[in-house]
Amino acid sequence: MIFNIEEVKFNQDGLVPAIVVDNSTKDVLMMAWMNMESLKLTLEERETYFYSRSRSELWHKGATSGSTQEVVEVYYDCDGDTLLVKVHQNGSGACHTGSYSCFTNRLDAN
């Protein structure tokens, strides 16, 4: 299957940020980076794949933990340089800490 991924602009490192949202609750679960290969796999396999900048390797989200993300829809923004991925989250959640979302820490006044 061929998608209109020529609309997506990857940065100088060949990466694009992908915001992952729970399609049922609309909560933002995480943000990670995709390269062309991981985006193609995400669209074809209908599960999220990212590119780990720290490990310099492709990363199939939840492959070992079971917290896979089934892809519902993928959007790109007006500039084409950010993705929004709507998913069905499997397992306990999206965060490596075990949390449902990576965004649990609030910037508060001390």
Where do contacts with its own copies occur on this chain (CB under 8 A)? 1-5, 7-8, 17, 19, 21, 25-28, 30-31, 43, 73-80, 82-84, 95-97, 99, 102-110
Which residue's CB is nearer to its own copies, number 2 or number 64?
A: 2
In the complex, what is the shortest distance from the CB of residue 103 to its own copies, in angstroms, rounded to a whole number? Answer: 4
Non-local CB neighbours of 60 within 8 Å, separated by 6+ positions? 41, 47, 48, 49, 68
Q: Which residue has the tokens 């070992």?
A: 64
Strand 69-76 relative to strand 83-89, pairing: antiparallel
Q: Considering beta carbons, is residue 68 or 94 the nearer one to its own copies?
A: 94
- Are the CB atoms for 69 and 94 separated by under 8 Å? yes
Q: Phi and psi (nearest 5°) for 37? A: -65, -45
Minimum CB distance to its own copies, residue 62 (Å): 16
Q: How far is the CB of 40 from its own copies (least distance, A)?
A: 10
Choice between 41 and 83, CB closer to its own copies: 83
